[in-house]
Amino acid sequence: MKREIAFIQKFNAIKRVLENHSSTFDGKPNAIAFRDRFNSKSLELSNRLNNLVRPVSSFYTERKSQRENLQNQLQRMTDFGIMLAKGTQNSAMLATFTRYRKMINTTSASMMLQVAHDELILINSQMAAAQALGIDSSFIDGFEEMLAGYQQAFNTVQNHLDVRRAERDAVNTLIKECNVILRFELDQFVRFNAPENQVLAKNYQRLRRVKRAGSKSGSIPETSDITGTVSDATTGLPVGGALVKIIEQGWSVTTDADGDFLFDELPAGHITLSCHAPGYEVPEIASFELGLNDHVVWNFLLRKLASGN
């Protein structure tokens, strides 16, 4: 967000200059209108930018702790389901629960939710036999409550990410709109009134001249981000401390305890991602094109090195 913050700081400085010379706008309603429109849009920009300050990784914290609890309880539910299927000689149910047992540690968050819901349906369909094996309503109720909590946490994360992307798009639009007002209205107004308001013209033009070499007036930041998770290919468990690197820029990050990584404020272009973790084989590098204002999710599955390597 460094580019966006630089824009808002510049816009705020221009607003202060215009406020210090508000008399220049007296009796000129059309000029007051585009000045106020600039002030309004820059204020909205500041408010929207505040919504982007929170790191993306913080959205996952609650969901990850609940995922671990659900995974443990789902393992218990699956073991019970296998026992129930064998006791009732239900071969179809046995095949289903056996398949689910293989999936639990490697499945995605959304698939885990589907598995949990289906296991509840299957066990409820054989509730009399299940109760005879020792399951009670308190366990089922507790599992359903945990499942509902994880579903809510999952939805909350997805909503946060959707809102963040929408806010980022809105921020870029507001920056463009503010620059258009500056270029085609305020710049012209200040130049026209420069002979009678030299101090205003000097301070305003000093701020307007500050830009990167080769940049175009009215340009807006076009940055993207890459998020992902590094997991063990066999167990599905997250791999913390893995080094993920963007080869072109030489940028690298280390995954957190939940295996997550994030690169943000990236320019568009070709991206090559590599991943390294102690005790694991080096996976195939990821190669793709990153667009403008793009949001890419890329996950790595690592396989442990053979014993002795």
Q: Is 308 a member of any domain?
A: no
List, for residues 141-152, the tens digit of each pLDDT value. 999 998 998 888
Instruction: Tell whether the model's pLDDT for residue 268 goes beyond 70.
Output: yes
Provide the mean pLDDT of the chain.
86
Q: Is 135 a member of any domain?
A: yes
Q: Is 105 a member of any domain?
A: yes
Give me the pLDDT at residue 308, please: 53
- Does 69 lie in the same domain as 174? yes
Among candidate residues 216, 236, 256, the one where a domain is terminated:
216
pLDDT band at 182 (very low <50, low <70, confident <90, very high): very high
Identity of residue 118: D
- Does 296 lie in the same domain as 162? no
Q: Is 307 a member of any domain?
A: no
Instruction: Tell whether the model's pLDDT for residue 195 goes beyond 60.
Output: yes
List, for residues 29-39, the tens digit of each pLDDT value. 999 999 999 99
Instruction: Tell whether the model's pLDDT for residue 164 goes beyond 70.
Output: yes
Enclosing domain of residue 9: 1-216
List, for residues 19-74, the tens digit of each pLDDT value. 999 999 999 999 999 999 999 999 999 988 887 766 665 666 666 677 778 888 99
- Is the model more confident about 169 or about 131? 131
- Does 7 lie in the same domain as 127? yes
- Does 235 lie in the same domain as 103? no
Q: How many folded domains does the chain comprise?
A: 2
List, for residues 211-242, the tens digit of each pLDDT value. 444 445 444 445 688 888 899 988 888 898 99
Give me the pLDDT at residue 58, please: 63
pLDDT band at 185 (very low <50, low <70, confident <90, very high): very high
- Please tell me the pTM assigned to this model: 0.52
- Does 64 lie in the same domain as 26? yes
- Is the model more confident about 84 or about 260? 84
- Does 289 lie in the same domain as 151? no
Give me the pLDDT at residue 154, please: 78
Among candidate residues 216, 247, 272, the one where a domain is terminated:
216
Instruction: Tell whether the model's pLDDT for residue 296 goes beyond 90.
Output: no
- Is the model more confident about 266 or about 281? 281
Give me the pLDDT at residue 106, please: 64
Give me the pLDDT at residue 177, please: 93
- Is the model more confident about 244 or about 162? 244
Overall average pLDDT of the 172-178 stretch: 89
